[in-house]
Structure formats: structure tokens, C-alpha cells
Amino acid sequence: MRHMAKRVAGASLLSLAVAISGLGAPSLTQAHSVSKSGVGAPCIPAGHGPGTIPSISFGRTGGNIRPLTVLIYGDGTITYQGSAQGLPAYSIRPVAVQGLERLAQAEGFATWPAKIKSPRFFPDAATLFVTIRAGCSTTTKTVKLLPGANQPQFIELWSTLTAASGLGNQ
């Protein structure tokens, strides 16, 4: 039952991200092309692989917990590194990637400091991080939530990314 609740929650969060994007489903040509105009047209970076900057990456590092990194590419391909055990061959639609980016924007991601700190420090706890790529540019922004820190918007975004990436569906 708990397994099913996680799937429903993940599906509804992903639906929310797509709804926030305000975009219809792109055609196959639109989804795999790089927008040159930059005027009102969101860009979905094509492809994935070595040397490709993911649209979104997130994970945890440090402490005495195994690190994990999840990479979400513009074409919807999701790869897992470290202890992340995602679903085999799991991917999402490119419009969902845009929805997740817009969710981060709506949460104020661009205005967050690079490190969200806490006066309390838990040396055994992991640091959570989220990195968002700015459209098709090579510019990225990373925000780290240090152990003991609490920012509800960061936790909400990280949880939504976890569900959308397939990690929350197990």
C-alpha cells in the first residue's frame, strides 16, 4: 500500500510540474532541437551522454551516508550514480523536464544562496544539492542544503525531483 502511495504522489507531483510549465506536449522535432530564438520559446537541450550538461541534477554527498547523484537530461533521459537505484530505463517527457525547471523557478531557486546553512551542525548527516541548467546555455546554478538546515522550498523541490526521477517510485 505504501508502495502505491509513493507512485501516486510521484505521478501527481510530476503532473503538477508539467502543469506549471504551461506548455503542451512538444512535437518530436521541437523536443529534440535547440531553440536559437530565445524569445519566449523554452529550450529543451537535445541528447545526453558524456560531455552533455544535464538540465537538472540532484543528490546527496558527505556525512556517513552513501552518496548519490541523479542526472535528468533535456530529452528526459535519467541516469543514476552512486547509491541511487532508479528504475531501469526510466525516463520522463521533455515537457516534464521543463515543468520541473519551471517549478524550481516558481520556488525562487535563482534567488537562493549557494549554501543554505544552519547554526546546528550534524557531522554525520549528508548535504543535499540541486543543480539547474539555464535553458540551453552551459550556465548552471547549484544550491546545497547543509546538514541541520531547513528550507521548506528546497525540501519540496528535492522531494519532487526524487519522485519525478523514479527514485520515489520504488
Residues 120 and 103: their CA atoms lie apart, in Å, by: 29
| pTM for this prediction | 0.73
- In the chain, the amino acid numbered 99 is G
pLDDT at 66: 87
How many other CB atoms are there within 10 angstroms of residue 75's CB atom? Answer: 19
Q: What is the pLDDT of residues 23-64, one digit of tens each?
A: 443 333 333 333 333 334 456 666 777 778 899 999 999 888
Domains (ranges, CATH) in the chain?
A: 2-33+43-169 (3.30.1560)
Residues 138 and 12: their CA atoms lie apart, in Å, by: 30
Residues 83 and 112: their CA atoms lie apart, in Å, by: 27
Q: What is the pLDDT of residues 117-168, one digit of tens each?
A: 988 777 788 899 999 998 778 889 999 999 888 899 999 999 999 999 988 6
